[in-house]
Homo-oligomer: A and B are copies of this chain.
Amino acid sequence: MNESGRVEAFSDGVFAIAITLLILEIKVPEAGENGGLWHALGEQWPSYAAYVVSFLVIGIMWVNHHQVFSYVARVDRALMFLNLLLLMVVAAIPWPTAMVAEYLREGKASHAAAAVYSLLMVAMALAFQAVWWHLTRTGHLFDSRVDVEGARRTRVRFALGSLAYPATVALSFVSAPLTLAAHGMLALYYGFNQVPVPVRAPDGVGAGAGEGEA
């Protein structure tokens, strides 16, 4: 059955829509009396920064989501539900993005906005971890290429990698702009350093890493 393909297509839709809705956060500025439109455009830099960072976050999350689901052959109710939780967090990202953009230079409020943004990233990491744990725990949802034992062993590395997100919550109370920059760098890092899905060696001798070109 093509269960996995259906879930992927729906998830892709949500990722694509959430990433494209981010632009609604950037408003057309008022060309005030001092300096005109150029000045007003310059004043909006937090909106541009938040757009770029959230675009990377959702884009890279999409890449990783697909990387994992390309090894999934079957979908059970629990996986459907955990995936829905993950999408619920991803679809919410335009909201803290707009909030961080609005409050980035606002002292105390900037810390609150950055913390909410970071907490949403923690929630996203947890939901993605939950998907991975469920897949590796059950095993039989993977397609036949996957080395299930090897996949189970990646869980600790995977979880350790996610510890960076709670750290950004703490960073939020130091500096909101730094927190936003940290999320941009984390997205780039995960874009170029994924935990690979371990695949069986064709001859059964060892296990390779099924990341390939993706």
Contact pattern, A 8-32, Cβ under 8 Å of B = 1, otherwise 0: 0110111111111111101011010
* Residues in chain B near residue A1, CB distance under 8 A: 70, 212-214
A214 x B75 contact (CB < 8 A): yes
Tally of contact residues, A, Cβ under 8 A: 65
Which segment, of A98-106, A126-134, A159-167, A198-206, faces chain B?
A98-106
Question: Closest approach, in angstroms, between the C-beta of A126 and any C-beta of chain B?
Answer: 15
* Residues in chain B near residue A95, CB distance under 8 A: 23, 26, 28
A37 x B3 contact (CB < 8 A): no
* Residues in chain B near residue A170, CB distance under 8 A: none
B36 x A109 contact (CB < 8 A): yes
A56 within 8 A of B: yes
Question: Closest approach, in angstroms, between the C-beta of A74 and any C-beta of chain B?
Answer: 5
B213 x A55 contact (CB < 8 A): no
Q: Say whether, besides A13-B17, A17-B13, A21-B23, A59 and B77 are in contact (CB < 8 Å).
A: no
B56 x A112 contact (CB < 8 A): no
